[in-house]
């Protein structure tokens, strides 16, 4: 349910949590009590300094600079009648109270302007990030050459839009080809690496008939970047036409899961291959694994943000076990079911970005 803005907040103000709203109301009430007490009690005392809290309270939850400014000017105007009501209080005390109100009004107004400016800058940054995400991780068609496809990308932080996880599904002259990868790096460098890998895959998958040749080109792309301690785990999958077996090349990535009639199998590679950019350390060719992929079968590709998510006791999310217990659904509702189950398992939070790709051969 949508929360209301704080007391006195103008329309469009971001809503305050209930606890914060209660505290603000209490502060306004105490401020009113102080003013009434000042007017009704001992004229040798004054509570006028507490009026300096007025612009601070008014600035909570608003992004309009005139709100704390007007509140401060109102508080400053109240100092005068309080001075008249307390003639026995030294004039410098009232002058000091007025100066304090004016100073804090200026600070509160400047703070609102600063916060509003930063939020506009953040909104612009998010817009740029969303455009970058649409360029890097393009929307996938639900149906591609006899296959149904669904993808989910879950950012670890609500503010995040682009990360190091990457995926792609392409219709090529050699069948449908898939890529799932995870850049082991941070910041803009990781995003640039993801962009380079996706660009190379989109070109190589269309012209290289051999899946291991696609993997070699991806490895060369990452190796050319020469970014220290940065590499990419990736799995490349080929889904030829009806009746043909699929094949995959796993470059240090988590094994895909094959789901067939409720049973889930990990598609391990016969010989482990290193992540992209590390082929030069071990030498030799890449290794392919062929697997049967009949109508109705489902293939699930994922990143470690899924399987390394933990519950409250620190246990990893058992994707294969959970997947085996789920009903036979189409890729899109199945992907949504997995994400919902993952969120429930972790209590709603993720420590790392998570990508999930589900593919099913149509019957």
End-to-end CA separation in angstroms for the chain: 43
- The listed range with the strongest mean pLDDT (191-195, 244-248, 358-362) is 358-362
- Give the Cα separation of 213 and 13 in Å (integer): 56
Q: Which residues contact 257 (CB under 8 A, 6 or more apart)?
A: 264, 265, 266, 267, 299, 300, 302, 319, 320, 323
* Alpha-carbon dihedral 29, 31, 33, 38, rounded to 10 degrees: -170
Mean pLDDT computed over 94-121: 86
163-175 burial string, b = 16+ CB within 10 Å, else e? Answer: bbbbbbbbbbebb
Q: Are 303 and 355 in contact (CB under 8 A)?
A: yes
Give mean pLDDT, residues 281-302.
91
Q: What is the pLDDT of residue 150?
A: 95
Res. 280 pLDDT band, cuts 50 70 90: confident
**CB count, 10 Å around CB of 248?**
24
Question: What are 327-352's pLDDT values in tens digits?
Answer: 989 999 999 999 999 989 988 777 77
pLDDT at 127 > cutoff 90:
no
**Residue 361 Cα to chain centre, angstroms:** 31
State percent of the chain over pLDDT 90.
Answer: 39
Examine the pLDDT at 186 and tell me if it is beyond 80.
Answer: no
Looking at mean pLDDT, say which of 96-100, 229-233, 287-291 comes out highest: 287-291
Confidence check: pLDDT of 130 > 70: no
The pLDDT of residue 7 is above 50:
no
Tell me the pLDDT tens digit for each residue of 140-180.
889 998 899 999 987 665 455 556 789 999 999 999 999 99
Residue 23, pLDDT > 60, answer yes
Q: Where residue 199 falls among pLDDT bands split at 50, 70, 90?
A: very high
Is pLDDT at 10 greater than 50 in this prediction? no
pLDDT (0 to 100) of residue 357: 96
pLDDT the model gives residue 134: 62
Tens of pLDDT, residue by residue over 81-95, are 777 777 777 777 778
Q: pTM (2 decimals)?
A: 0.68
* Most confident option among 7-11, 27-31, 108-112, 198-202: 198-202
Q: What is the mean pLDDT of residues 21-38?
A: 77
Confidence of residue 3 (pLDDT cuts 50, 70, 90): very low
The structure tokens listed for 159 are 């503010």
189 pLDDT band (50/70/90 cuts)? confident
At 16, is the pLDDT very low, low, confident or very high (cuts 50, 70, 90)? low
Taking residues 20-25, report their average pLDDT.
76
Q: Which residue has the tokens 């009690």?
A: 41
Q: What pLDDT was estimated at residue 284?
A: 86
Range name among 7-11, 166-170, 236-240, 350-354 with the lowest pLDDT average: 7-11
Binned at pLDDT 50, 70 and 90, residue 14 comes out as low
- Tell me the mean pLDDT in the region 309-331: 92
Residue 272: HSE in the Cβ half-sphere, 13 Å Cα cutoff: 8
Taking the CA atoms of residue 82, residue 85, residue 87 and residue 90 in that order, the dihedral angle to the nearest 10 degrees is -20
Q: Which pLDDT score, from 0 to 100, does residue 136 have? A: 73
């Amino acid at each position: 349910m949508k929360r209301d803005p704080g007391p006195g907040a103008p329309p469009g103000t971001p809503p305050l949590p209930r606890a914060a709203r209660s505290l603000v109301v209490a502060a306004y009430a105490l401020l009113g009590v102080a003013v009434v007490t000042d007017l009704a009690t001992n004229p040798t005392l004054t509570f006028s300094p507490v009026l300096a809290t007025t612009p601070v309270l008014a600035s909570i939850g608003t992004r309009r600079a005139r709100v704390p400014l007007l509140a401060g000017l109102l508080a400053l105007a109240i100092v005068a009648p309080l001075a008249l009501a307390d003639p026995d209080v030294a004039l410098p005390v009232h002058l000091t109270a007025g100066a304090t109100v004016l100073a804090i009004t200026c600070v509160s107004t400047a703070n609102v302007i600063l916060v509003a400016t930063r939020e506009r800058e953040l909104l612009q940054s998010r817009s740029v990030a969303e455009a970058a995400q649409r360029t890097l991780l393009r929307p996938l068609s639900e149906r591609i050459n006899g296959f149904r496809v669904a993808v989910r990308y879950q950012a670890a932080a609500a503010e995040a839009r682009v990360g190091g996880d990457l995926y792609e599904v392409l219709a090529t002259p050699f069948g449908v080809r898939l890529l799932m990868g995870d850049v082991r790096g941070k910041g803009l460098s990781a995003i640039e690496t993801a962009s380079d890998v996706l660009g190379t895959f989109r070109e190589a998958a269309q012209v290289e008939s051999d899946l291991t040749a696609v993997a070699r080109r991806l490895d060369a792309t990452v190796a050319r970047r020469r970014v220290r301690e940065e590499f990419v785990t990736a799995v490349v999958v080929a889904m030829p036409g009806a009746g043909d077996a699929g094949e995959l090349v796993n470059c240090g990535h988590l094994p895909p899961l094959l789901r067939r009639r409720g049973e889930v199998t990990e598609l391990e590679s016969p010989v482990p291959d290193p992540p992209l950019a590390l082929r030069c350390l071990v030498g030799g060719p890449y290794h392919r694994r062929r697997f049967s992929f009949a109508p109705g079968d489902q293939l699930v590709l994922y990143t470690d943000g899924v399987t390394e998510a933990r519950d409250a006791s620190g246990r990893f999310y058992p994707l294969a076990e959970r997947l085996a217990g789920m009903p036979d659904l189409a890729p899109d509702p199945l992907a949504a079911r997995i994400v919902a189950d993952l969120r429930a398992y972790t209590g709603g939070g993720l420590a790392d970005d998570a990508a999930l790709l589900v593919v099913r051969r149509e019957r």
